[in-house]
Amino acid sequence: MPDAAITTGECQPTVRSLVTTNASTCSNHSMPSKESEIILIPPGSASAEDTTSVEDTTSTNGSSNFERSPVTARQLYMAITGGVLLYFIAALETTILATVYIDIANQYDDMSNGIWIITSYMLSSTAVQPLYGKLCDILGRVETILISVGIFTIGSILCAVSKSLGMLIVSRVVQGVGGGGLMALTSVVLSDVTTERDRGKYSSFLAASFGVASAVGPVLGGLLVQHSSWRVIFWLNLPVCLPAMAIILYGLKVPRPQGTIREKFKRIDFLGSFLFMCGIIPLVLAFSWAGVGESWTSAKNMTCIVAGAVMCVVFLIVEWKVSAEPIIELKLYKIRNIAVSSISHFFFGASTYGPIMFIPVWELSVKHSSEVSSGLHLLPMMLPMVISAAISGALMARTGRYRLVIALGGMLTVIGTSLLILMDEDSGNGKRIGFVAILGTGIGLSLQPLLVAAQVTVSGKDMATVTTMLTFLRSLGGIFVLSILSSVMNRTLRTEAVKLITLFPFSMYTILKALDDQSVITKDPSIPEELRTALTHMFQTTMHKVYIGLVPFAAMFFIAVLFFKHVELNTRRKKTIK
């Protein structure tokens, strides 16, 4: 028995005429012509009349912009299942090493470069995301996802067998090239198989996988290092990647682009891709170096910033004047919601990744949680995020409205980040859970409507480009805030450590060791209680400044989302493959 077309609840069929204006003279009681189409309208959605007006306002080129064939339940569930698995494993690699990279660096006796175990993955995964958008338009969704999964799997194997820290860092770069595609392409595929009206509802599954990965990652990494080996972290990717590849290969049925391999190869914007990488990589490197203590005005950083900025300008000129199929369609930024969503995604990434990275550090250094339990303190943030993401998706599906949801999410994000400033050594579980829950609720409400608000304003052929560009800006915002606030943290710690050494000159070695490994505060029984209290206060003073630094990013996010313009959400799928 063939799969039934996916519906939302109990749908009522509504006949919408697709014939030309000449057919409007036909009687209302006449049978629909062969060109008519049965559209399923879910309860609570727009009526037949409302739906027609939606189509009229969002498509001036007729029904050729929409898919005629429905998505079956099997196709939708396979796409979501494969997407959730890939999204989860890519997000997990961002956080799973957050609390154990110090142990790995200690094993190689190279603490100074240990942070690059995390930074290298974030750098490469961010830099390649826009490239995947155009690549999947040319090669096809399935083919590009398989390439991405293959690169990620090879990178994971190389990480697991690394013989030196240098090899591990390079392998993480390879892994990130694949991981960046997984993060971006899952959102693209979801846009292929869902309507704008229902997209937020199904996107809540991706939000759930991101939330679980962010909360479980540090805990899982700590447990594996304690009871096994850090190499197992990378071997575990294979049992997830291989089934996901099979699901995508055999279960994802989306149209494939026309043309031979040679024709597709000629369409790839190699010059634009090269210039984009030459511009973004130096900038991200400068951010990363600043985050680990390098001065922003050092010769190395300034060279990267200037060179990166110049290459980005050259890239934009080439995309504007030269490229036949540019990676970034600059004309899209004439659309208000695209520009607003781009700015919003940058500050949203900063407001999201900042707390995810620094809350476990605060728990570890100020509340003396273990490497394992510090990650668990993200659960009060992630659980409300998942729930509120589901609520925002359901609201969009039922009402077709999203501006108020985004604004409410932005406001709660500002409130949540501001409340983090109030946390100190004496904060109990009520504050620690309540404050981050408010922040998680704000993030969840905004997560999917931010993307849909931009997607609704473009044609289907630009969907992948817009989606991957916005995910790139979100990741770039995360890297930017981590570099800024890590720089603040390192500079403040050094200043406070000098003050502490003057008070405890005979404990200088212990104080300096605590700067790199906060767990020393509780693990070393020889530390006097007075010094232990002073070290805790040093980290509290530092993290207080970090939390203050988060607020301007959240505030800019809230201000930006107020400029969204409402555009009706389509109840039909756009054609996203040429």
Cβ 156 vs Cβ 499: under 8 Å: no
pLDDT score at 138? 86
Q: Which of 1.20.1250.20, 3.60.15.10, 1.10.520.10, 3.90.79.10 is the CATH number of 71-260?
A: 1.20.1250.20
pLDDT score at 8? 40
Q: Which of 477, 479, 486 lies closest to 543, judged by CA?
A: 486
pLDDT score at 293? 67
Q: Tell me the mean pLDDT per 10 residues along the chain, length 578.
A: 41 37 39 38 37 36 61 80 87 81 80 79 87 87 90 94 91 92 87 84 84 83 82 89 82 75 81 87 81 76 90 90 83 92 95 89 84 78 91 89 93 95 90 93 92 88 88 90 86 88 86 79 82 90 93 96 90 76
What DSSP assignment string belongs to 404-416?
A: HHHHHHHHHHHHH
pLDDT score at 66? 63
pLDDT score at 436? 93
Continuous segment of H or E residues that includes residue 336: helix 336-365
pLDDT score at 67? 66
pTM for this prediction: 0.81
In sequence order, what are the residues at sequence separation of 6 or more whose Cβ sits closer than 8 angstroms to the Cβ of residue 559? Answer: none
Distance in angstroms (rounded) separating the CA atoms of residues 303 and 356: 30
Class of domain 334-570: mainly alpha
How many C-beta neighbours within 10 Å does residue 256 have? Answer: 12
pLDDT score at 69? 66
Helices 129-139, 270-291: crossing angle, 10 deg rounding? 160
Distance in angstroms (rounded) separating the CA atoms of residues 40 and 13: 5
In sequence order, what are the residues at sequence separation of 6 or more whose Cβ sits closer than 8 angstroms to the Cβ of residue 395? Answer: 200, 401, 405
Cβ 553 vs Cβ 350: under 8 Å: yes
Continuous segment of H or E residues that includes residue 165: helix 165-193
